[in-house]
Amino acid sequence: MKKLDISVIPGDGIGKEVVPEALRVLDTIAKVHGGLTLNYTHYPWSSEYYVEHGKMMPDNGLDLLSQSDAIFLGAVGDPSLVKDHISLGGLLLKIRREFEQVINIRPAKQIKGIVSPLTNPRDFDIMIVRENSEGEYSSSGGRVHHGIDEIVVQNSIFTKKAVSRVMEYAFELARKRNGHLTSATKSNGIVHSMPFWDDVLAEVSQNYKDIPTKSEHIDALSAFFITKPHTLDVVVASNLFGDILSDIGAAIMGSIGIAPAGNINLNGKYPSMFEPVHGSAPDIYGKGIANPVGQIWTAKMMLDHFDEMEMGTVLLHAIEQTLQSGIKTPDIGGNSNTTEVTDAIIAKIEELA
């Protein structure tokens, strides 16, 4: 019997709606698998927790999480209660950084049953590999003086170690997919860090001469995600560029509500964290119509991470067949609610397994 201890953090907004649904799906997977036990430990850390305790998680929060095999998170952020840089900084980004989850992988590919907003999407299948520990999302900087004299400095941090690491990961993935690599740059405008990024790419690519590689400026690349996504395969990007590209990737799939992601720790010292690309969606929270597919597909990524590929495949088929049967939430043109979609996916898993 394989046993996995999962820390569960629904977080804010629709995270609280889609995480319990995805756990029902995971329970079904464990049941049909027969040799897999999933133990959940639930943590209520969120913006509401902050209002009560003055912090996003307790002081020993990271210690508690470090005891699990993986973290399954919904979304963080409720700007009506706590400013976003405090809430995300004190929980989501803290975990990514402290647990050295240095890579963020975010697939964007056509799945059956969802119509892309593109007129001619072709059969795109992109994997965004985002640097997840530094870059533009750094706490280096500050604000001094007040009023008209106020000065703000926000530093981007790019280290040889992290940049070469994310590129190696992306090259390895491209090799595994028999694909090619596109690097997102902006060396025509950001004159220190991005030429450095390009230099590291050139250096690392020496070890991957079999992988076709090119570099595109982020502005043009953003357009290519819309005009010719089928020409892209693995895309390696800095923290900010990868964040933006992955929302575009989600949009061309059909909705940000279906896109999954994994924050991967490579050195085995800490657990990896799985969470969908989307945020807490305050505009639809409480209506019961959040698309659960992003969180459920994220569960598949977590199963894949633990080499439960077969179960992951069953799960993706169940998602696709459910959507193809027309059971979907309003963001992708349906009129089912969160629970109805999840129920249908669960029934499909039981049928397929």
Ligand X SMILES: NC(=O)C1=CN([C@@H]2O[C@H](COP(=O)(O)OP(=O)(O)OC[C@H]3O[C@@H](n4cnc5c(N)ncnc54)[C@H](O)[C@@H]3O)[C@@H](O)[C@H]2O)C=CC1
User: Which residues contribute to the site for ligand CC(=O)C(=O)O (CB under 6 A)?
Assistant: 88, 243, 277
How far apart are CB 84 and ligand CC(=O)C(=O)O at their closest, in Å?
9
Asked if 75 interacts with K ion (CB under 5 A), we say yes
How far apart are CB 172 and ligand X at their closest, in Å?
25
275 binds, among Mn ion, ligand CC(=O)C(=O)O, K ion, none (CB under 5 to 8 A by kind): K ion
| Best CA proximity match to 131, nearest among 215, 235, 223, 269 | 235
Q: Strand pairing of 70-75 and 125-131? A: unpaired
- Comparing every residue's Cβ against ligand X, the nearest one is 77
At CA 351, angle to CA 346 and CA 353, rounded to 5? 90
Asked if 304 interacts with Mn ion (CB under 5 A), we say no
Asked if 275 interacts with Mn ion (CB under 5 A), we say no
286 binds, among ligand X, ligand CC(=O)C(=O)O, K ion, none (CB under 5 to 8 A by kind): none
Asked if 131 interacts with Mn ion (CB under 5 A), we say no
How far apart are CB 58 and ligand X at their closest, in Å?
19
Binding-site size, Mn ion (CB under 5 A)? 1
How far apart are CB 273 and K ion at their closest, in Å?
10
Which range, of 180-188, 212-220, 237-245, 308-316, touches Mn ion by CB under 5 A?
237-245
Asked if 346 interacts with K ion (CB under 5 A), we say no
Asked if 92 interacts with ligand X (CB under 6 A), we say yes
249 binds, among K ion, ligand X, ligand CC(=O)C(=O)O, none (CB under 5 to 8 A by kind): none
On whether the CB atoms of residues 204 and 236 are closer than 8 A, the answer is no
Residue 142, burial from CB neighbour count under 10 angstroms (0-12, 13-18, 19+):
exposed
Beta bridge partners of 181: 213, 234
On whether the CB atoms of residues 130 and 243 are closer than 8 A, the answer is yes
What residue ranges in 22-90 does DSSP mark as E strands?
Answer: 36-42, 70-75
Asked if 243 interacts with Mn ion (CB under 5 A), we say yes
Beta bridge partners of 153: 142
Q: Which residues of 6-40 are buried (b: 16+ CB within 10 A; e: fewer)?
A: bbbbbbbbbbbbbbbbbbbbbebbbeebeebebee
- Per the listing, tokens 């609280």 go with 16
Q: Which chain residues interact with ligand X by CB under 6 A?
A: 14, 75-77, 79, 84, 88, 92, 256-257, 275, 278-284, 290-291, 294, 331
